[in-house]
């Protein structure tokens, strides 16, 4: 196969309309081939994240790395996805802080934490960082941190190292919505302050990622690994910047009232 051939053909994308997750049907050779290539990407990305020192790990609640479940929709999709999240013990600790079970052996809920997801469906190939409203401990951390001017500048620096067409938005579901900005747009003027000034932590989804159509040249055989690894590395750095830890705690900057990101800022 020529290196410029798409890693997943347009016909393979479109075949995912047919609910390949049907449990009463054995997987066809065609479907198994798509899964094998997704598994290859998952394995390679897992190694790459480990090599760059990220604590993101293959999502621990799944029996198989690749499935039809997507964190973007919170359910089964006409497609395939795999995800990475923080270590389970760290997740359980944060859920304890959120008032949930203190039992580290209990199954923590990955929907309550940021996840890095790679998703293939009929229309798109997506690499994105997803934070649902249930990830309230991290969402509050983001809202607090983005009130500090020097940290907004830090986030701008991270965005400058991202693809210019990386998408940022607050919607729910696996389909791309109209209400989003690209990293290029949000770096203009005070778009960043105004955009995050509308973010309602604990009530909205936060999405940052790269969306590609089946025909995109970066999804060719000889480019897709570079595309996936590059986007995931950029998103892993954003995850580390935003995700709550005892060393990255900005809850106190949120205060008791709802202030906009344009309000007088701390200078720490």
State the pLDDT at residue 100: 78
Per-residue pLDDT tens over the stretch 177-193: 888 999 999 999 999 99
In a domain, 265, yes or no: no
State the pLDDT at residue 262: 39
State the pLDDT at residue 108: 78
**pLDDT less than 70: residues of the chain:** 1-2, 18-27, 101-107, 255-268
In a domain, 5, yes or no: no
In a domain, 259, yes or no: no
In a domain, 3, yes or no: no
Q: 99: alpha, beta or left, given left = phi > 0 and alpha = psi -120 to 50?
A: left
In a domain, 108, yes or no: yes
* Cα–Cα distance measured from residue 53 to residue 3, given in angstroms and rounded to the nearest whole number: 30
State the pLDDT at residue 106: 58
Q: Where are the extended beta strands (E) located within 113-204?
A: 115-121, 125-131, 167-169, 180-182
Please give the distance of CA 228 from its chain centroid, rounded to a whole number. Answer: 12
Per-residue pLDDT tens over the stretch 29-46: 778 899 999 999 999 999
Convert 73-100 into a string of H (helix), E (strand) and C (coil). Answer: CCEEEEEEEEEEECCHHHHHHHHHHCCC
In a domain, 261, yes or no: no
In a domain, 57, yes or no: yes
* Cα–Cα distance measured from residue 246 to residue 219, given in angstroms and rounded to the nearest whole number: 38
- CATH number for the domain that contains residue 99: 3.30.930.20
Residues 148 and 253 sit within 8 Å (Cβ to Cβ): yes
Count Cβ neighbours within 10 Å for each residue of 90-124 and write b for 16 or more, e otherwise: bbbbbbeeeeeeeeeeeebebbbbbbbbbbbbbbb
In a domain, 266, yes or no: no
Residues in a beta bridge with 121? 79
State the pLDDT at residue 104: 52
Task: Classify burial at 53, counting beta carbons within 10 Å of its beta carbon; exposed 0-12, middle 13-18, buried 19 or more.
Answer: exposed
The span from the first CA to the last CA of the chain, in angstroms, equals 55
3-state SS class at 68: strand
Q: Where are the extended beta strands (E) located within 191-265?
A: 206-212
Based on DSSP, count helices (H) and strands (E) in the chain, helices before strands.
Answer: 8, 8
Domains identified in the chain, total number: 1
Q: How many Cα atoms occupy the beta-carbon half-sphere of 57 within 13 Å?
A: 11
Structure tokens at 7: 């890693």
168 lies in which domain range?
10-253
Structure tokens at 187: 């770096």
* Cα–Cα distance measured from residue 114 to residue 134, given in angstroms and rounded to the nearest whole number: 10
């Amino acid at each position: 196969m020529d290196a410029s051939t798409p890693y997943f053909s347009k016909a393979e994308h479109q075949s995912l309309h047919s609910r390949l997750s049907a449990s009463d049907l054995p997987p066809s050779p065609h479907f198994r081939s798509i899964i094998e290539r997704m598994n290859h990407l998952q394995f390679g990305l897992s190694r790459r994240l480990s090599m760059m020192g990220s604590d993101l790990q293959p999502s621990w609640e799944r029996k198989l790395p690749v499935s039809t479940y997507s964190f973007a929709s919170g359910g089964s999709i006409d497609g395939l996805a795999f995800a990475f999240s923080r270590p389970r013990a760290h997740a359980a600790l944060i859920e304890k802080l959120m008032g949930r079970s203190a039992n580290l052996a209990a199954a923590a809920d990955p929907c309550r934490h940021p996840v890095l997801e790679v998703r293939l469906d009929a229309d798109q190939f997506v690499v994105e960082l997803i934070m649902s409203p249930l990830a309230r401990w991290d969402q509050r951390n983001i809202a607090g941190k983005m009130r500090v001017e020097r940290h907004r500048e830090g986030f701008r620096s991270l965005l400058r190292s991202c693809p210019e067409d990386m998408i940022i938005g607050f919607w729910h579901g696996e389909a791309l919505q109209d209400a989003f900005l690209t990293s290029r747009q949000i770096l203009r003027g005070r778009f960043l302050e105004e955009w995050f000034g509308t973010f309602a932590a604990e009530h909205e989804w936060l999405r940052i990622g790269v969306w590609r159509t089946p025909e995109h040249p970066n999804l060719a055989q000889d480019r897709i690994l570079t595309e996936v690894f590059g986007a995931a590395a950029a998103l892993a750095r954003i995850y580390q910047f935003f995700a709550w830890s005892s060393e990255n705690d900005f809850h106190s900057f949120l205060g008791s009232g709802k202030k906009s990101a344009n309000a007088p800022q701390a200078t720490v």
